[in-house]
Every structure is written in structure tokens, then in C-alpha cells.
Amino acid sequence: MDDLMELLKTRRTYRRFEQREISQEIIEEILTAARLASSAANRQPLSYIVVKGAEKVAQVFSHTRWAGALPPEQGQPKEGERPVLFIAVVENKDINPDCDTDAGLAIGNMTLAAWNRGVGSCMIGACNKPALAEMFGLTQQQVLHTVVAFGYPSHASNIVDMEDPALFKYYLDENRDYCVPKRKLADVVRYL
Ligand SMILES: Cc1cc2nc3c(=O)[nH]c(=O)nc-3n(C[C@H](O)[C@H](O)[C@H](O)COP(=O)(O)O)c2cc1C
């Protein structure tokens, strides 16, 4: 259990990566973690598109926006820092039109399974979905939920206590490591 809590504490969002391949074994482990996630009525409406190989990854990357809380020159990964893999999460509306929670659970599983193998990730909601849907050849019934970027991180990311509830934005410290304020337990929990 201690290991799980450590995994949860250190599984942060990572936005700069080493230019090192992720093995097919690890990719399949990440996809299996998604496949095993809970699903409303067990309908399992999600499917996944794996994007690997420098050219295709660069094409997807060009449709993504990173670290909205930071100026682009600080938050947007530069050449040599970019992810080496994307996995797109696709909602199949003919199976279940209301599957946002399913997607969240699957993405949580994927990012944890990846981090368990030292692979960092960033889920990207801020992407050009129409352009990516066309690139992926999605049908009328298929909606792109998110793309998740993966790679071996080249920076650290640390949780800090949020002293002021208004100061929720993450920031970079002097080493360009991410600092991620989390609200204190006492500020978000109420016992009845
Ligand atoms: C629904 C959702 C969408 C997100 N979209 C983006 C995004 O488009 N670009 C990005 O850089 N990070 C994105 N993130 C990552 C968040 O910024 C990150 O989770 C948050 O700052 C907390 O950091 P942590 O994941 O390390 O706890 C997204 C996270 C979630 C849950």
C-alpha cells in the first residue's frame, strides 16, 4: 500500500521528455491498464489509437497545447523535449454516448501503469480535435476525448501545499522543475 501511495504522489504531469523509445511491452501494459478500468454498465465504449514513430508523433504534437498556466516559451516542450508516444482516447457514442467518467478512469489507469514503469505522461485536453479526428479517420459515431502524451521525463515535478486557495496555478522553480500546488486535505474534506 505504501508503494501505491508513493506511486500516486510521484505520478505527476510531465511535460519534457528524454528522446528514448518506449518498449512495445510497456505500451501494451498501458493499454491493458486502460482496458481493465471500470465502465458504466460494463459497456466499455472506449477505444485507443496508438501514435508512435517520430513523424506521426510530430504531426499529433503540432495539434496540442501544453501548460496553459505558463507562457508558451516555458510550458510548450521544445524540439528534443517532446513526447515519443501519444495514445488517443476515443469515445464510441454508439456503445455509450455518456462516457466521460469512463474516459477519466481509463486515463487514470494508463498514466499510473506508465509511471509504474518510469514513463511520465501528460493528458492533453487542449488539442485541435477536428484536425486530429480527421488524421485518425474517426467515424461519425466516434468522438476524440483526449490525447495522452508519454515519455521518460527529463524534469521533476513536486507537490507543494496550497497556502492560498486562489493560488492554484502550477509553476516552474529555479531548476525548471514543476511545482504543483494541491489543496490541503482540511480544505477539501468535511466529515458529517
Ligand atoms: C481533463 C484534463 C485536461 C488536461 N489538459 C491539459 C492540456 O491540454 N495541456 C497540459 O499541458 N496539461 C493538461 N492537463 C494536466 C493538468 O494541467 C495537470 O493535471 C494539473 O496541472 C495538475 O498536475 P498533476 O497532474 O501533476 O497533479 C490536463 C489535466 C486534466 C485532468
What's the 66 CA to ligand 1 centre distance in angstroms? 9
Q: Give, for ligand 1, the residue of 64, 123, 146 to mutate: max count of ligand atoms closer than 8 Å to Cβ.
A: 123
Which long-range contacts does 176-179 make (Cβ < 8 Å, 24+ apart)? 176/16, 176/74, 178/12, 178/13, 178/14, 178/15
Report all structural domains of the chain as residue ranges with CATH numbers, in order of start.
2-155 (3.40.109.10), 156-192 (2.20.180.10)
The residues lining ligand 1, judged by C-beta closer than 6 Å to any ligand atom, are 12-13, 15, 65-67, 122-126, 157, 170, 180
The string of pLDDT tens digits covering residues 105-152 is: 999 999 999 999 999 999 999 999 999 999 999 999 999 999 999 999
Cβ of 185: how many Cβ atoms within 10 Å? 8
pLDDT band with cut points at 50, 70 and 90 for residue 1: low
Place of cell 515519455: 151
Identify the band that residue 68 occupies on the pLDDT scale cut at 50, 70 and 90: very high
User: Quick one: pLDDT band at residue 39, thresholds 50, 70, 90?
Assistant: very high
55 C-alpha to ligand 1 centroid (Å): 25
Ligand 1 closest atom vs CA 182: 27
- For residue 97, the CA-to-ligand 1 centroid distance in Å is 24
